[in-house]
Each structure stands twice: as C-alpha cells, then as structure tokens.
Amino acid sequence: MSPTQRSLAKLRAEGWLVGITEKWNPYARIRQDLFGFIDLIAIKGDVVLAIQTTSGANVSKRIAKIRDNPVFLKWVQAPSRQVHVHGWSKRGGRGERKVWTCRVVRLTVNADIVESPATDT
C-alpha cells in the first residue's frame, strides 16, 4: 500500500471527505501534484487540508519542497486552509511487531511546524 493510500484510509476513518489530486502524466512519465505539492485534499466542516504524503524518511525534504512553492503562502493565508505532511513508517519496540505509523506535520504561514503525535493504523 502506498503512502497516499494509507493517508486516504486514515483520513476517511477520521470522517474527512478526501480526494486524490496527484495524477500520472503519461507524456512526461511523472506523477504531478496539484499546485506542485498537494497529493490529497480533505474537507471536514469549514477546514480544508492540503496533504503531501511520503515515507517517514522523506518528511524534511517534502517540507522544504512545500516551503519553496509560492502557492504554499497563498494556501495557508486563509484561516480555514491547512497544509499537512504525512510521513509513513513502520515503528515498534525491539522484539515487538512493527506497525505502520503516520507522523503528521502541519506547516503554518510563519514557518512554524506543528507536529501531531504519531498514530498507528
């Protein structure tokens, strides 16, 4: 299961209305994100999330990619819109069963990072 599919399942289980915005471009032979950084859009009440999904090891690279994108500042200037990075990795104690865990990082307009506790799926 890809990180995008894991985030899709996680968000739907939390009651979000979610759509995939990342598309395969057969002519360029690459995956293209909406506005260059959005893999998923999620809506719940008045809140709209733009989500970038990745492996746990690539979270910092994705944060840098998003911060370099001029659309990021326009997106987060509205109080109802947020940008999250979901980093998926297998975690567990020594000798214990490893489970897929999502590290959720929220990016804010003043360049702060708000990190939510990792959740198991």
Helix (H) and strand (E) counts in the chain: 3, 8
Average pLDDT over residues 60-66: 94
Core vs surface per residue 25-47: b (16+ CB within 10 A) or e: eeeeeeeebbeebbbbbbeeeee
Domain housing 95: 3-120
Q: Where residue 80 sits, what CATH number does that domain have?
A: 3.40.1350
What is the tens place of the pLDDT at every residue in 12-37? 999 999 999 999 999 999 989 999 99
Beta strands in 45-112 (DSSP E): 47-55, 81-91, 99-107
Q: Which of 46, 38, 105, 104 is nearest to 74 (CA)?
A: 38
Q: Which residue has the higher pLDDT, 92 or 115?
A: 92
In the chain, how many domains are there? 1
Read off the pTM.
Answer: 0.87
Residue 116 reports pLDDT greater than 90 = no
